[in-house]
Amino acid sequence: MRTFDIKPLDRSLLPELQDKIDNLTKPKGSLGTLEELAKQIGMIQHTLSPVLSVPQNVVFAADHGIVREGVSFSAPEVTAQMVVNFSKGGGGVNMFARQHGFRLKVVDCGVNADLPPIEGVLERKIRKGTSNYLHEAAMSVEEMERAVEIGAEVVDMVAAEGTNVVSFGEMGIANTSASSLWMTYFTGIDLRDCVGAGSGLAAEGVKHKYEVLSRCMKNYRGDASTLDIIRYFGGFEMVAAVGGMLRAAELGMIVLVDGFIMTNCVLAAQRLYPEMKEYCVFGHCGDEAGHRLVLDYLGAKPLLSLGLRLGEGTGAICAYPLLVSAVNMINEMASFKSASVTKYF
């Protein structure tokens, strides 16, 4: 599989970043998380004056074979219908992208439908959905590698457009099931605590989903390596997001992380390249069962907690203004010296 050269953050500039922030006209530490964000972004970009350029959100779309087992509240045809809706600007992610000045890319990497060419949708279909991992691996090794390449390719596209902060989203009915399995295998957290309502299952539906996924784990005969778990239970859209995140980190971009599914993509990506997590800013803690647990496992501090569970990258985009505030703080606030203000802490 493709390899990535992801460098640990260079912390040599941290003392100067801290000094600059501490000498802005405010009590020391009084802007809390914004100060931590400014330092992280400054280290990612290795500058005392960071900038955010051409933010983009990439939505990868694909279907899951496990949907045939009744693990989702939503009908399987919704994936294809929502891709069309995105192309027309009608999705939640479209609205937030317009509000916050994001460019949006939608990528079909495995939708189970014969979609015609659609303006605004990149056609990169591997095949029409993954296999049913209750009985067999979701994808072959070659398909997994292709999904990683698709993610990296799209990040190269956004980087060529001047983007230095990118978020990822997903559209794929039943992808919370795949995420729950990645989570339990990669964290050791009991599957029962990883399984939630997804797009709207009631208690009985969540119980059925848990029972199906338990059977999937019992039927699994792989070697339990990181790559095999990714391949066996993943979705094409999720593996593409992993590839995109790794390439973005390799390029020194800020990776703005969305909800439960994308957090589990970070979980998978950092199993392969631990350094990539330093480039991640976690946008929010969502309302899907297990999201807080996986965030805690990663040691992540999400910026927002709004009860969101839509996916698509919506929570990440909603958090973006806080990155803008952090960058504006370090660049635009006067220092005590320049403003002739006596330090008051």
Q: Which residues are catalytic?
A: 312
Please count the other Cβ atoms lying within 10 Å of the Cβ belonging to residue 76. Answer: 18
Burial 282-294 (b: 16+ CB within 10 A, else e): bbbbbbbbbbbbb
Distance CA 271, CA 326 (A): 29
- Here the tokens at position 196 are 């939630």
- Here the tokens at position 116 are 């015609």
Angle at the Cα of 92 (from 71 to 132), degrees rounded to 5?
25
Q: Which of 163, 153, 320 is nearest to 252 (CA)?
A: 163
Which residues touch 207 (CB under 8 Å, ≥6 apart)? none
Distance CA 190, CA 186 (A): 11
